[in-house]
C-alpha cells in the first residue's frame, strides 16, 4: 500500500455517528450510520467513495463538511487535529461540499450566491473572472432558478473554489447531469486535483469511477469495507468491478445490476414477448400532447407523439427539468394537458385505465402517516358510498405485500416505517393489482439499493407481459436494461427515439439527452 | 472543557405518554407564565390562582357554569381541529359564532309568526349552523380557488361580523321596549334550549358531545374523512389519488363554520336569549387553544374545553376579587398557548448535558 | 350635499391619508424584514398594543419623547423576541406562536393599562418642516406630519435599499429563501432571523406608539383595532417589497381619509357599520385581487423558506 512521508491532507480515524431511529414502531433506539470509519484524502487525487444507498456515504461526508458532529472518532488536517462545529468551520479549514441537493438560493443570481458564499461584493465581473480562471462556464447575472442543473453544479463548485477550498466533496454529482455533461465535469475535477486539491466523488454507480478516480473506498452499512484502494494499471477499468460490487453489496450480485451494460438475459426475455401476435396491438396512443403553461412561459412539453403496444416497454428518458416529469404526471392523470389527445385501447383517457407509480414515493405515492391498508385505498378504491372500505383495504394490502415480497410488520404499519425499496414494491404491487392496460412508472429505482432495484425491474418486466409500460427515467442505463425503444426528451420535445438493440444506442441517447443530435437526423433513423 | 445542552428525541417515550407529558408541560409552563402576568399586574400570583380556583371550583353553581362554557368551547374547538387536520387555519370561529347567533336569532324573532312552535328550536339551530357555514364560505372559496390565506380572511371577517351584529341590536333589531338598553327583545321561551334543572346548563353540551363523536366517525370511518386526512397529510398524494382538493377544502371550512355557528346559536338559545353586548366574548378564538390543547384529537376536545371553561369561570373571580380587567383571561390564554407550544417541543425529548471540546471550530495550524 | 374639491380639501385629504397610513406602514415594513428572513410573525396586533401602551406610559411618566419611543420599540422587540424563541429556537408552529403573541398583547395591555385609561399624556404632534410644508397640497400631506410618520416614510426607501443593495440584505434574503444554503455559506442563520424578528417587532412597537402618541393620543384598550392584521395583509399585497408597502399603505390611508371626508361632508353612501367594516372588507378584496392576478403572483411570491424551521445540526 502507499505509505508516504507527508501526512494526508485530511485523515479520519474511527468516525462514528448515530441517529435516533425514525420508526416509532421499531421500539425506538438508534441507527448506526457510521461505525469506526477510517479514510485518508491526499492532494492531487480524485477519490471515489463507493457505497449503496443508505451505506452511510452522505453521513460520512456531512461529518467532514461540518454538518454533523461525530459521536466518536477524530479528524486530522495535514496531521493536526481538527474539530468541526459547522459548515462554516469546515469551509475555514478548506473543506467544501457540493450536496446532491444544491445549497443555492434560487431567488438570487449567480453573482449574489457567490458573494453570499465568499463574503465578497456582488459583482458580475468578478464572478465572470473567477469562472474563467477555473474553466467553469457561468452567466453571473442569471437567477439560479433559471439555470440548468449543470450550471448550478458549476456555480456550487465555484463557490467552494472562491473560498479556497482544497478538499472538494461532491455527492452523487452525475445524477443530475446528461451523460455528455459528465465528461466535462470529470475533466474539471481532474484539473482541480492536478492543481493540488483533493477531490472526493461520492457515488453508487460503479460505471462512474472507472473514468474519474485515482483511488476507491467502499462503505457498506456504515462500515468502511475497504479504504484507499489504488487504481490497478493492469485492468482496463482500473479495478476489478465484480470484486468492487461484491464489496459494496456484501454478496454476489445478480447479473442484471452488476454492470450498467444492458444484460442480454433481460433483452432476450423481451424479444420472446415481442414475437407474440399481440405486440402490434396499440394500447396507448399520444397525439400532439402539450402541457399547460403559465403566462409567458413555454409549456413543459409540447407536441409529443408516441405509441406503446401491449407487451412493450417504452422508456422516456431525459435530464431532469426537460419536461418528462410533467409528461409522466399527465399520463398518470395528475395534470391535464392543454392540447392533444391520449387514447388508451382506443378509448379516450380515463384515469381508471392507468396504473401510475409516481417519482415521489413518500409524498405522492403514499401518505407517510397512514397505514398500508389505508394507503392501499389511495388509488385503487373506485366504489361509491360514504363509508370507506377498511376491511377491503386490509385484504388488498395483504395481497400486495405477498405479491412482491414486501417486508413490513403488517398491513397496519405506517408507510413511513417502510424502507424505500419496500415502499416502492408496495406501490408497484398496489398499482399492478388494478390490472390496468397502461402502467406508468417514474424514476422507479432512484435511491434504492441494488437488490431492491432488481426486484422492481423484475416486477416491471412481469407487468409488461400484459400491459403497455411507459418507463420515465433519467438513467439511460436503466432505460436500456428494460425497454425496447427509448424516447429521449429534450426541452419539452421528443428529440429522438432510439432502438435499444442498436450497438451505439447508449452513445446516441447520451447525445440526444444533451441536445447534441439534430432532431431530423434522429427521426430519419427511427423512420427506417 | 465546556458544556453544551443537547435536546434530543427520546424515542423510548410512547405516544400516549408523550401526550401526557406535553399536557403537563403545557400546564406547568402556563402556570409560570401566568404568574408572571399576575406579578406584572401587581397582584400576588398565589392569591390570584387561589381566587381562580375558588371561582371555578368553589360551588356547585360554579361547576355548572364550567359546563355551560364547555358546550360552546367544545364546538369551536372541534371547528378549529377539523380544519387543522386538513392544514387549514380557521381563525374565524369567532365571526362564524356571531353569525350563527345572528341567524338563529332571526329565526327566534321572525319565524314564530309562521312556523309551528315545536319546529322552531330545530329550525333555529339549523339556521345557526347554516349562518356559520355561510360566513365561512367566502374564505373557503377564496382559499380553494385562489389560494388567498384563510388565516387573514377568516380573521378579518371576525371584525365585520361583530360590527354587523352590533348594527343589528343597536339598529333594526333593537327592542323598542328595552329601556335604552341595546339588544334585541328576549326570544320566546319555546326556542330556548332546555336547561337541566335550575342551572344554566343547557342541551348544548350533550349536543356538542354527540357532535364530537360524529366528527370522529366522519374523519376515521367515512370516505370523505379519508380523503380529508390524505389531503391534510399530503396534498400531493391527494392529487395523485385524484381527490378534489377544492371540494374537500370548501366542505371542511364550511363544516367548521357550521360547528362554530352552532356554538353561537347554542349560546344565544341556551344562555343569553337576546342578541346583545357580551355575546361575542372570544369563545370562538378560545376554540383555537382548545383544539391545540387537545392536540387536534377530536375526542380530546371536550376535555380541553372543560379546562378552558374552568379558566374562564375562574377568571371572572379575578375581576370581582382582585379588580383585574376582563382582558386578563386573554393573557392567561396566551400563557397556556405558549405553554402548549413548549410542551409540544419538550414532549418526547430529553435534555442531556454533554461535555464539549475546547473550542468547536479550532483546527490545526 | 356636494363635496367641494378644492386645494385646501385635497391637502387635508392628503394629510389624513398619510397620517392614517403610518401605523400600518411601520408594522408592515417590520413584518417585511421579518418575513424576508424566513420568520412568520402573526403577532403584529399584540406588538402594536404593547408598543402603544409602553410608549404612552413612559411618555406620560417622563414627558420625554425619546424615552417614550424607545420604550415602545423595546416593548415590540421584546415581544418579537419571545416569538423568535418559539419560532427560531424551539421550532414551534409559527402561526400558533404568533396568535399567542396577539392574545398576549391584548391581555397584557388590558391588565397593565387599566389605570391609564383616559389619562392625559405626551402628545407627539405634527412638526411642519420649514419651507417644504409650504408646497401646495404635497406640503401639508407629506411635510406637516408627526415625527413617526416621517420615520415611516423614510424607512420604506431605506429598507428597499438595504434589502436589495447591501450585503446585510443579501444575508437576510438568503436566510428567508434557503436557510440551509445560507448556513452552508457561513451565514449565522438563527442570529440573522432573531435580529430581523426583533427589528420587525421594534418597528411594530413604534407603530403602536404612533397610535397612542400621535394618531389618537391616549390609551384605549384594543386601540389597534385590527391594524396589525391589515399590516400582515399589506405585506402580501406588497409582495414583500418595502416600496410597494409604502404605496399600499398610502392607498389604505387614502381610503380612510376619503371615508372621513365624506362623513364630515354628510355624504352617507353606506350604513355606518359597513363604513366601519370597510378597512377589513377592502383588505380582503385587495388580497383577492392580488391572488387573482397571475401577473402579480408571478412577479414575486413569499420567501421560499417563510415559516420554515431551520435546525443546523440534524
* Chain C residues close to B4, C-beta within 8 Å: none
Pairing mode, strands A10-20 and A30-41: antiparallel
Of C112, C232, C287, the CB nearest to B40: C112
- Going from N- to C-terminal start, the domains of chain A cover 264-363+435-526
Chain B residues with CB under 8 Å of C44 CB are none
- C284/B157 touch (CB, cutoff 8 Å), yes or no: yes
Helix axes A420-433, A372-380, angle to 10 degrees: 40
Other chains touching C, judged by 3 or more CB pairs under 8 Å: A, B
Facing residue for A351 by CB, picked from B8, B224, B242: B242
The pLDDT value recorded for residue A280 is 62
Measured between beta carbons, the chain B residues lying within 8 angstroms of C230 are: 156
The whole-number pLDDT of residue A26 equals 42
A122 in contact with C, Cβ within 8 Å: yes
Please name every residue paired with B118 in a beta bridge, in sequence order, or none if there are none: none
Q: What does the pLDDT look like over C35-77, one tens digit per residue? A: 999 999 999 999 999 999 999 999 999 999 999 999 999 999 9
CB < 8 Å to C192, chain A: none
For the cut 90, the answer to whether the pLDDT of residue A121 exceeds it is no
* Cβ-defined contact of B364 to A29 (cutoff 8 Å): no
d(CA A448, CA A54): 9
User: How far A73 CA sits from the closest chain C CA (Å)?
Assistant: 18
Q: Which of C171, C173, C176, C184 to mutate to test the interface with A (most CBs of A within 10 A)?
A: C184
Choose the mutation target among B6, B138, B152 for the interface with C, i.e. most C CBs under 10 Å: B152
Å from C19 to nearest chain A CA? 35
Q: Which residues of C touch A90 (CB under 8 A)?
A: none
Nearest to C98 by CA among C179, C7, C31, C32: C31
Asked if C137 has any chain B CB less than 8 Å from its own CB, the reply is no
Could you give the 3-state DSSP secondary structure of residue A355?
A: strand
C276 touches chain B (CB under 8 A): yes
Interface of C with B in 201-230 (CB under 8 A): 221, 225-226, 229-230
Q: What letter would DSSP give residue B175?
A: -
A66-75, B102-111, C198-207, C260-269: range with lowest mean pLDDT: C260-269
**Residue B128: Cβ-neighbour burial (10 angstroms; 0-12, 13-18, 19+):** buried
* Cβ–Cβ contact A498 with C under 8 A: no
Q: A235 — phi, psi (to 5°)? A: -95, 145
Lowest mean pLDDT among A260-269, A371-380, C173-182: A260-269
How long, in residues, is chain A?
528
Give me the pLDDT at residue A53, please. Answer: 76
Q: How distant, in Å, are the alpha carbons of A34, A289, A343, A354 from that of A282? A: 51, 17, 10, 15
- According to the 3-state scheme, what is the secondary structure of A307-341? EEECCCEEEEECCCCCCHHHHHHHHHCCCCEEEEE
- pLDDT surpasses 80 at A136: yes
Q: Chain C residue with minimal CA distance to B33?
A: C104
What pLDDT is recorded for position A295? 64
For the stretch C4-41, pLDDT in tens is 557 777 888 888 999 999 999 999 999 999 999 999 99
* ipTM of this predicted structure: 0.91
Distance from B217 to chain A by nearest Cα, in Å? 10
Among partner residues C170, C178, C304, which is closest to A103 by beta-carbon distance? C178
What's the N-to-C CA distance of chain C in angstroms? 69
pLDDT(A27) > 50:
no
Across A183-197, A498-512, C166-180, least confident range: A498-512
Q: What tens digit of pLDDT does each residue of C219-272 get? A: 999 999 999 999 999 999 899 999 999 999 999 998 888 888 877 877 777 788
pLDDT number for residue A153? 92
How close does chain A come to B261, measured CA to CA in Å? Answer: 25
Total residue length of chain C: 314
Q: Which of A311, A53, A92 is nearest to A175 (CA)?
A: A53
B163 Cα to chain C: minimum distance (Å): 6
For residue A40, give the 3-state DSSP assignment.
strand
- Disruptive mutation site among B138, B327, B347 for chain C (greatest number of C CBs within 10 Å): B327
What 3-state DSSP class applies to A472? strand
pLDDT tens per residue, range A32-55: 888 899 999 999 999 999 888 778
Whether A294 has its CB under 8 Å from any CB of chain C: the answer is yes
Decide if A364 and B240 are in contact by the 8 Å CB cutoff: yes
Distance from CA of C189 to the nearest CA of A (A): 12
Neighbours of A323 (CB within 10 A): 23
Mention every residue, 6+ apart, whose C-beta is less than 8 A from residue A477.
A207, A260, A261, A262, A506
- When CB atoms are compared, the residue of A77, A92, A381 closest to B361 is A92
Average of per-residue pLDDT across A417-434: 90
Phi, psi of A466 (to 5 degrees): -120, -10
Beta-strand runs (E) in A21-102 = 30-41, 46-51, 72-77, 80-82, 95-98
Residue A212 banded pLDDT, cuts 50, 70, 90: confident
Residue C2 is predicted with a pLDDT of 45
Q: How many residues does chain B have?
A: 365
Whether the per-residue pLDDT at A429 is higher than 60: the answer is: yes
Predicted confidence at residue A525, as pLDDT, reads 59
pLDDT reported for residue C258:
84
Between residues A126 and B260, which one has the greater pLDDT?
Answer: B260
Give CA angle at A468 (A464, A473), nearest 5°.
80
What grid cell was written down for A336?
A: 391535464
Residues C290 and C236: their CA atoms lie apart, in Å, by 8
Say yes or no: B237 contacts chain A, CB-CB below 8 A: yes
Residues of A in contact with C184 (CB under 8 A): 67, 87-88, 97, 99, 103
C-alpha span between A107 and A122 (Å, rounded): 15
252-281 of A, contacting B, C-beta below 8 A: none
Listing DSSP states for A195-257 in one string gives TT-EEEEEES-HHHHHHH-SEEEEEETTEEEEEEEEP-TTSSSSS-HHHHHHHHHSSPPPHHH
Quote the pLDDT of residue A523: 57
**Per-residue pLDDT, B279:** 86
CB pairs under 8 A between A and B: 95
B156, B312, B333, B361, best to mutate vs chain C, most C CBs in 10 Å: B156
- Would you call B152 and C108 a contact, using CB atoms and an 8 Å cutoff? no
Would the CB atoms of A108 and C173 count as touching at under 8 Å?
A: yes
pLDDT-based confidence at residue A138 (cuts at 50, 70, 90)? confident
Interface of C with B in 112-131 (CB under 8 A): 112, 114
What is the reported pLDDT for A156? 92
Q: Where are the domains of chain C?
A: 7-128+135-299
Chain C: closest CA distance from residue B161 (Å): 9
Nearest CB to B12: which of A28, A387, A388?
A28
Q: DSSP assignment, residue B5?
A: E
Contact call for C100 and B334, based on CB within 8 A: yes
A374 to chain B, any CB pair closer than 8 A? The answer is yes
| Contacts A369 to B, Cβ<8 Å | 233
Q: What is the mean pLDDT of chain C?
A: 90
Helices (H), A313-419: 324-332, 372-380, 390-403
Q: Block means of pLDDT (10 residues each) for chain B, length 365 residues?
A: 64 68 85 90 90 91 93 96 93 95 94 88 96 96 92 94 93 84 88 87 93 95 91 91 92 97 95 88 91 92 95 90 87 92 78 56 38
List pLDDT tens digits, range A297-322. 788 899 999 999 998 999 999 887 78
3-state secondary structure of A462: helix
- Chain B residues with CB-CB distance to A81 below 8 A: 363-364
C-alpha A17/C-alpha C276 separation (Å) is 61
Q: Please give the Cα distance from B87 to B150 (Å, whole number).
A: 11
Pairing of strands A485-490, A313-317: parallel
Instruction: Work out the minimum CA distance from A367 to partner chain B, whole angstroms.
Output: 6
**Percent of chain C surpassing pLDDT 70:** 96
A partners (3+ CB pairs within 8 A) are B, C
Q: What is the mean pLDDT of residues A514-522?
A: 62
Which domains are delineated in chain B?
A: 1-43+324-360 (no CATH), 49-317 (1.10.3470)
Q: Is C111 in CB contact (< 8 Å) with chain B?
A: yes
Q: Are B237 and B226 in contact (CB under 8 A)?
A: no
Side-chain-side CA neighbours of B18 within 13 Å: the count stands at: 16
Q: What is the CATH number of domain C7-128+135-299?
A: 1.10.3470
| Distance of residue B86 Cα from the nearest chain C Cα, in angstroms | 15
d(CA A240, CA A21): 36
Task: Assign domain A264-363+435-526 to its CATH architecture.
Answer: 3-Layer(aba) Sandwich (3.40)
* Residue B327, CA distances (Å) to B44, C107, C309 in order: 18, 5, 32
Amino acid at each position: 500500500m502507499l505509505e508516504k512521508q507527508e501526512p494526508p491532507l485530511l485523515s479520519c480515524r474511527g468516525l462514528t455517528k448515530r441517529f435516533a431511529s425514525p420508526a416509532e414502531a421499531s421500539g425506538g433506539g438508534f441507527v448506526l450510520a457510521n461505525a469506526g470509519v477510517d479514510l485518508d484524502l491526499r492532494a492531487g487525487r480524485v477519490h471515489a467513495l463507493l457505497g449503496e444507498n443508505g451505506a452511510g456515504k452522505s453521513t460520512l461526508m456531512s461529518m467532514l463538511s461540518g454538518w454533523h458532529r461525530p459521536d466518536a472518532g477524530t479528524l486530522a488536517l495535514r496531521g493536526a487535529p481538527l474539530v468541526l462545529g459547522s459548515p462554516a468551520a469546515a469551509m475555514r479549514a478548506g473543506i467544501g461540499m457540493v450536496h446532491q441537493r444544491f445549497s443555492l438560493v434560487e431567488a438570487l443570481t449567480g453573482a449574489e450566491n457567490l458573494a453570499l458564499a465568499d463574503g465578497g461584493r456582488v459583482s458580475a465581473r468578478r464572478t465572470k473572472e473567477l469562472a474563467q480562471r477555473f474553466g467553469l462556464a457561468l452567466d453571473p447575472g442569471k437567477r439560479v432558478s433559471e439555470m440548468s442543473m449543470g450550471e448550478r453544479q458549476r456555480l456550487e463548485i465555484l463557490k467552494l473554489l472562491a473560498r479556497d477550498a482544497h478538499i472538494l466533496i461532491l455527492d452523487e454529482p452525475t445524477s443530475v447531469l446528461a451523460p455528455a455533461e459528465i465528461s466535462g465535469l470529470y475533466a474539471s475535477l481532474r484539473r482541480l486535483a492536478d492543481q493540488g486539491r483533493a477531490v472526493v466523488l461520492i457515488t453508487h454507480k460503479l460505471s462512474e469511477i472507472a473514468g474519474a478516480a485515482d483511488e476507491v473506498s467502499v462503505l457498506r452499512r456504515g462500515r468502511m469495507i475497504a479504504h484507499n484502494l489504488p487504481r490497478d494499471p493492469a485492468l482496463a477499468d482500473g479495478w476489478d468491478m465484480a470484486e468492487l460490487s461484491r464489496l459494496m453489496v456484501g454478496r454476489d450480485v445478480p447479473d442484471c445490476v452488476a454492470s450498467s451494460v444492458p444484460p442480454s438475459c433481460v433483452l432476450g426475455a423481451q424479444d420472446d414477448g415481442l414475437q407474440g401476435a399481440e405486440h402490434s396491438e396499440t394500447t396507448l396512443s399520444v397525439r400532439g400532447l402539450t402541457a399547460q403553461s403559465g403566462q409567458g412561459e413555454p409549456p413543459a412539453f409540447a407536441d409529443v407523439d408516441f405509441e406503446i403496444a401491449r407487451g412493450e416497454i417504452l422508456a422516456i428518458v431525459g435530464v431532469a427539468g426537460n419536461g418528462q416529469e410533467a409528461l409522466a404526471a399527465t399520463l398518470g392523470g395528475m395534470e391535464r394537458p392543454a392540447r392533444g389527445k391520449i387514447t388508451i385501447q382506443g378509448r379516450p383517457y380515463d384515469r381508471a385505465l392507468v396504473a401510475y407509480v409516481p417519482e415521489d414515493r413518500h409524498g405522492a405515492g403514499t401518505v407517510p402517516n397512514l397505514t398500508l391498508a389505508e394507503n392501499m385505498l389511495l388509488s385503487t378504491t373506485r366504489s361509491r358510498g360514504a363509508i370507506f372500505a377498511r376491511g377491503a383495504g386490509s385484504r388488498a394490502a395483504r395481497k400486495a405485500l405477498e405479491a412482491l415480497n414486501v417486508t413490513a410488520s403488517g398491513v397496519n404499519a405506517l408507510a413511513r416505517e417502510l424502507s424505500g425499496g419496500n415502499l416502492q414494491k408496495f406501490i408497484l404491487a398496489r398499482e399492478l393489482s388494478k390490472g390496468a392496460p397502461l402502467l406508468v412508472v417514474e424514476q422507479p429505482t432512484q435511491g434504492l439499493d441494488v437488490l431492491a432495484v432488481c426486484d422492481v425491474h423484475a416486477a416491471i418486466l412481469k407487468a409488461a407481459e400484459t400491459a403497455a409500460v411507459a418507463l420515465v427515467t433519467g438513467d439511460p442505463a436503466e432505460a436500456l436494461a428494460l425497454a425496447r425503444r427509448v424516447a429521449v426528451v429534450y426541452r419539452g420535445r421528443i428529440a429522438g427515439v432510439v432502438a435499444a438493440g442498436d450497438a451505439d444506442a447508449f452513445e446516441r441517447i447520451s447525445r440526444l439527452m444533451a441536445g447534441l443530435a439534430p432532431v431530423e437526423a434522429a427521426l430519419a433513423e427511427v423512420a427506417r | 472543557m465546556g458544556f453544551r445542552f443537547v435536546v434530543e428525541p427520546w424515542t423510548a417515550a410512547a405516544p400516549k405518554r408523550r401526550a401526557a407529558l406535553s399536557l403537563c408541560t403545557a400546564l406547568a409552563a402556563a402556570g409560570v407564565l401566568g404568574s408572571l402576568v399576575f406579578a406584572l399586574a401587581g397582584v400576588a400570583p398565589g392569591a390570584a390562582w387561589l381566587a381562580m380556583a375558588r371561582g371555578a371550583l368553589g360551588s356547585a353553581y360554579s361547576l355548572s357554569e364550567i359546563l355551560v362554557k364547555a358546550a360552546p368551547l367544545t364546538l369551536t374547538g372541534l371547528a378549529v381541529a377539523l380544519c387543522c387536520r386538513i392544514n387549514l387555519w380557521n381563525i374565524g370561529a369567532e365571526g362564524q359564532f356571531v353569525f350563527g347567533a345572528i341567524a338563529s336569532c332571526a329565526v327566534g324573532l321572525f319565524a314564530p309568526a309562521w312556523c309551528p312552535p315545536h319546529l322552531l328550536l330545530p329550525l333555529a339551530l339549523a339556521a345557526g349552523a347554516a349562518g356559520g357555514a355561510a360566513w365561512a364560505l367566502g374564505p373557503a372559496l377564496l382559499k380553494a380557488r385562489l389560494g388567498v390565506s384563510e388565516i387573514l380572511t377568516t380573521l378579518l371577517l371576525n371584525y365585520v361580523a361583530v360590527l354587523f351584529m352590533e348594527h343589528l341590536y343597536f339598529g333594526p333589531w333593537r327592542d323598542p321596549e328595552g329601556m335604552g338598553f341595546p339588544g334585541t327583545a328576549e326570544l320566546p321561551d319555546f326556542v330556548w334550549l332546555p336547561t337541566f334543572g335550575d342551572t344554566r346548563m343547557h342541551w348544548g353540551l350533550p349536543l356538542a358531545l354527540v357532535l364530537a363523536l360524529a366528527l370522529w366517525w366522519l374523519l376515521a370511518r367515512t370516505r370523505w374523512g379519508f380523503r380529508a386526512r390524505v389531503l391534510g397529510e399530503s396534498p400531493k398524494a391527494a392529487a395523485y389519488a385524484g381527490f378534489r382538493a377544492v371540494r374537500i377544502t370548501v366542505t371542511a371550512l364550511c363544516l367548521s363554520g357550521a360547528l362554530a355557528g352552532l356554538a353561537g346559536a347554542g349560546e344565544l338559545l341556551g344562555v343569553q336569549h337576546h342578541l346583545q353586548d357580551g355575546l361575542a366574548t372570544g369563545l370562538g378564538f378560545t376554540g383555537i387553544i382548545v383544539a391545540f390543547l387537545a392536540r387536534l384529537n377530536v375526542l380530546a376536545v371536550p376535555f380541553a374545553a372543560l379546562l378552558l371553561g374552568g379558566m374562564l369561570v375562574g377568571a371572572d373571580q379575578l375581576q370581582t376579587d382582585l379588580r383585574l380587567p376582563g382582558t386578563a383571561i386573554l393573557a392567561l390564554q396566551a400563557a397556556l398557548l405558549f405553554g402548549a407550544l413548549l410542551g409540544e417541543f419538550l414532549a418526547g425529548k430529553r435534555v442531556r448535558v454533554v461535555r464539549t471540546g475546547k473550542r468547536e471550530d479550532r483546527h490545526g495550524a | 350635499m356636494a363635496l367641494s374639491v378644492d386645494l385646501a380639501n385635497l391637502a387635508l385629504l392628503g394629510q389624513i391619508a398619510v397620517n392614517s397610513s403610518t401605523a400600518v406602514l411601520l408594522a408592515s415594513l417590520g413584518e417585511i424584514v421579518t418575513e424576508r428572513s424566513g420568520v412568520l410573525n402573526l403577532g403584529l396586533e399584540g406588538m402594536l398594543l404593547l408598543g402603544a401602551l409602553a410608549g404612552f406610559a413612559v411618555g406620560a411618566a417622563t414627558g420625554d419623547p425619546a424615552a417614550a419611543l424607545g420604550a415602545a420599540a423595546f416593548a415590540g422587540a421584546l415581544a418579537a423576541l419571545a416569538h423568535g424563541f418559539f419560532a427560531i429556537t424551539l421550532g414551534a408552529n409559527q402561526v400558533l406562536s404568533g396568535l399567542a403573541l396577539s392574545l398576549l398583547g391584548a391581555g397584557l395591555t388590558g391588565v397593565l393599562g387599566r389605570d391609564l385609561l383616559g389619562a392625559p399624556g405626551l402628545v407627539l404632534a405634527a412638526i411642519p418642516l420649514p419651507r417644504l410644508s409650504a408646497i401646495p397640497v404635497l406640503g401639508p400631506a407629506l411635510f406637516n406630519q408627526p415625527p413617526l410618520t416621517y420615520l415611516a416614510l423614510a424607512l420604506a426607501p431605506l429598507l428597499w435599499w438595504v434589502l436589495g443593495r447591501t450585503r446585510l440584505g443579501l444575508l437576510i434574503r438568503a436566510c428567508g429563501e434557503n436557510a440551509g444554503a445560507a448556513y452552508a455559506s457561513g451565514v449565522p442563520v438563527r442570529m440573522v432571523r432573531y435580529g430581523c424578528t426583533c427589528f420587525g417587532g421594534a418597528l411594530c412597537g413604534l407603530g403602536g406608539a404612533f397610535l397612542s402618541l400621535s394618531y389618537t393620543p391616549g390609551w384605549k384598550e384594543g386601540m389597534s383595532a385590527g391594524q396589525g392584521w391589515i399590516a400582515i395583509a399589506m405585506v402580501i399585497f406588497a409582495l414583500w417589497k418595502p416600496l410597494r408597502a409604502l404605496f399600499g399603505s398610502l392607498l389604505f390611508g387614502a381610503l380612510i381619509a376619503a371615508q372621513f371626508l365624506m362623513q364630515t361632508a354628510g355624504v352617507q353612501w353606506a350604513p355606518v357599520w359597513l363604513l366601519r367594516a370597510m378597512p377589513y372588507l377592502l383588505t380582503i378584496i385587495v388580497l383577492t385581487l392580488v391572488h387573482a392576478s397571475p401577473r402579480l403572483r408571478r412577479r414575486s411570491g413569499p420567501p421560499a423558506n417563510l415559516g420554515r424551521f431551520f435546525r443546523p445540526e440534524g
